[in-house]
Structure 1
Amino acid sequence: MQLHVANHPLIDHKMTILRDERTESPVFRSLVAELVNLLTYEASRDLRVQDVPVTTPVTGMVGKHVASPLPIAVPIIRAGLGMLDGFLQLMPYCEVGFVGIRRNEDTLQPETYAKRLPDDVSDRQCFVLDPMLATGGSLAATVQFLLDGGATGITAICLVAAPEGVALMQERFPDDNVRVVVAALDEGLNEHGYIVPGLGDAGDRLYGSAD
């Protein structure tokens, strides 16, 4: 697994506001979209393209289009849904699948409750959207599910990561077929499995605390 921390002054500025407990949900959602937009630019550097002839007002040339089969965006429900709009602003041609995973608060292990993906993910580049890479269980389970389906070139986009989650991903996926692009690598996890300093529960801050 390759880890890329997207160091940039704009990302740092927006992340500081995002972390602030006083930031209300409408601003939080807007900042998430802006941050994901910036992270998607970094995450798509290895996007497969193909040559396409085009005629400009001056002459003909060969340009580039995103190659088929088209990539797939896979937000992990529910918090990952808050990242989808920002991602699709840069990559509107993607297909979208969904994986529903919740963390068991007693065991801290992931529990899958929903999957909705294109029928065939073989040889597809996939972008998994999950705001928090904490213990790594949910992200690892989603990536493994996609690899089992034949997906190639999987990139996860996260806002905040803990070293524990990064270590799990590196252990589970030692080759270079999986990348993780994050806005910030934080100190670690507390006794409840939450990232410190983190930004709280991303789902609650996006949508409220309804069960």
Structure 2
Amino acid sequence: MEIIDFSENNSLLNSYVREIRDVTIQNDRLRFRRNIERIGEILAYEISKVLSYASVDVQTPLSKTTVSVPNEQIVIGTILRAGLPFHHGMLNYFDGAESAFVSAYRKYKENHQSFNIHIEYIASPIITDKTLIITDPMLATGGSMELTYKALLTKGTPKTIHIATIIASKQAIEYCKNHFPEDKTTIWAAAIDPELNEEAYIVPGLGDAGDLAYGSKE
């Protein structure tokens, strides 16, 4: 399994990651959502480099030419609700892709120190032999990602799997290595952080991406 950590290299992507982490800039929800969307666009562009391509003839006003374009069927699967602006960013670039949505959330126990992950909703096309991109801005434990993948497997078996995230923990990376097909999975992360706190939030992370994008929930 290949793990790609974009924070290891200098690029404009780091500017958007800095802004979504900053506690002052986070107060602007519109800017937060737009930065998540921008990161989705950048990761989509990077993922596009490893897809298969085919040559297509194009008639311009002056002559014919040939352009190499992706020829894979792509399904972008997103974990609700925090993943919505990330999903939108991906679709801005993979505009012909199909979409899948899975509702996966933490249901905390009384002490708020432990939780179970629940899947309540799935809407997906058939994914058999397609390229599946699963997006979730925060890959904390890897549990939600695994359950989302298993839910999507009810719609078929994908040809390849790309896990796209903004901030992952090292723990989640190791978890995904053990729970996803090693020979056909790639993880793309804008940054990988060192640890989780007692409530399984990524540290330093950025907080709750869903709340920052759409407001707190009860």
Which stretch of the first structure deviates more once superposed, 170-179 or 104-113? 104-113
Cα distance in 2, alignment partners of residues 2 and 143 from structure 1? 18
* 3-state SS in 1 of match to 2:33: helix
Q: Could you tell me which amino acid in structure 1 is paired with residue 53 of structure 2? A: V
Structure 1 residue 50, shift from structure 2 partner: 2.6
Cα distance in 1, alignment partners of residues 98 and 120 from structure 2? 21
Q: Which residue of 1 aligns with 2:24?
A: 22
Please say if 1:50 is aligned against 2:60. no
Please say if 1:97 is aligned against 2:133. no
* 3-state SS in 2 of match to 1:9: coil
Gaps of 5+ in 1: none
Q: Which residue of 2 aligns with 1:141?
A: 147
Q: Note the 1:120-135 alignment, pairs <5 A.
A: 120-135=126-141
User: Using a 3 Å threshold, how does the CA distance of structure 1 residues 76 and 199 change in structure 2: closer, same or farther?
Assistant: same
Q: Deviations over 1:148-175 (max 9, x none)?
A: 6211211111110001100000011252
Q: Which residue of 1 aligns with 2:164?
A: 157
Q: Deviations over 1:78-120 (max 9, x none)?
A: 10112122111111111111011012323433210100001x2
The answer as to whether partners of 1:126 and 1:152 remain within 8 angstroms in 2 is yes
* 3-state SS in 2 of match to 1:160: strand
Structure 1 residue 134, shift from structure 2 partner: 0.4
Cα distance in 1, alignment partners of residues 210 and 151 from structure 2? 22
* % same residue: 32
Match of residue 213, structure 2, among 200, 206, 209: 206
User: Using a 3 Å threshold, how does the CA distance of structure 1 residues 145 and 48 change in structure 2: closer, same or farther?
Assistant: farther
* 3-state SS in 2 of match to 1:122: coil
Match of residue 10, structure 2, among 5, 8, 24: 8
Cα distance in 2, alignment partners of residues 12 and 89 from structure 1? 20
Cα distance in 1, alignment partners of residues 199 and 217 from structure 2? 20
Q: Note the 1:54-203 alignment, pairs <5 A.
A: 54-67=58-71, 70-106=73-109, 107-118=114-125, 120-147=126-153, 149-173=156-180, 175-203=182-210
User: Using a 3 Å threshold, how does the CA distance of structure 1 residues 181 and 100 change in structure 2: closer, same or farther?
Assistant: same
Q: Deviations over 1:2-48 (max 9, x none)?
A: 21112333122221111011222111111111111111111222223
Q: Which residue of 1 aligns with 2:36?
A: 32
TM, length-normalised to structure 2: 0.88
The answer as to whether partners of 1:84 and 1:129 remain within 8 angstroms in 2 is yes
How many pairs align?
A: 209
* 3-state SS in 2 of match to 1:109: strand
Cα distance in 2, alignment partners of residues 153 and 165 from structure 1? 20
Gaps of 5+ in 2: none
The answer as to whether partners of 1:143 and 1:154 remain within 8 angstroms in 2 is no
**4+ residue runs of structure 1 moved beyond 4 angstroms?**
none
Cα distance in 2, alignment partners of residues 27 and 57 from structure 1? 40
CA RMSD of aligned residues (A): 1.7
